[in-house]
Amino acid sequence: MSSEQTPSTGVLQMRSEILIAVALLSASFICTCLFAALSPQAAPTLLIPSCREVPPNTHRISARALDLLDGIAFDVPETDFVVKTGTQDMPPGEVHLVTLRGRSEPLEISDYDLSFEQELKAFSAHEHRREVRTSDGRKIGEDHWGYLTTGERWRYLRFIRGGEEGYRPLVPKYAALLDKIINSACLPMPTGQ
């Protein structure tokens, strides 16, 4: 073979470097896509409208906050969820435990502080917070959510006039089901309107 028919060593080395660079960029892109796909997703932003008529086969429950005009109601489909309600003396108030049929992890809807809020902050890999607003833009609370290193997600809402709603860390599949209850939140119309 003549020297004209064989590529020089410099050209081979340059081709090798280009192939290595392309391989590294491809691997980096794939890792970024996998990380984004596997990262827990944010809980949906919550905008609370006025309540409409209660849908069929639905139980409407409310956190009776200190000011009844600012109470928050939630619609719970009776076919998928069970609701247990109880009261406590100190602090006085009512708590609703909403569980998916066949499961034991509840969504707590309460007039007072949730029983698990502090443990969430201590063991979370990530914690985020955003405002909860009425459909006319008035701030009425905060939506807190986060996840553990295991990927389990938690969420709770704290309202300005009292009342908290939330669930302990759950696998995303069950957290998404309880998010549907939280996302059904509405403001009851004052009586006489």
Task: Give 10-residue mean pLDDT values along the chain (193 residues).
Answer: 56 77 71 52 69 90 56 87 78 77 81 68 81 86 88 87 82 90 83 49
Q: What is the pLDDT of residue 76?
A: 92
Q: What is the pLDDT of residue 75?
A: 92
Q: 109: buried, middle or exposed (CB in 10 Å: 19+, 13-18, 0-12)?
A: buried
Q: What is the pLDDT of residue 82?
A: 87
Q: What is the pLDDT of residue 68?
A: 43
Q: What is the pLDDT of residue 111?
A: 65
CA distance 147 to 40: 7
Whole-prediction pTM: 0.67
Q: What is the pLDDT of residue 67?
A: 43
Q: What is the pLDDT of residue 138?
A: 86
Q: What is the pLDDT of residue 47?
A: 82
Listed residue (153, 188, 174) closest to 75, CA to CA: 188
Residue whose structure tokens are 């119309």: 189
Q: What is the pLDDT of residue 17?
A: 80
- Those residues with Cβ within 8 angstroms of residue 138's Cβ, 6 or more apart along the chain or in another chain: none
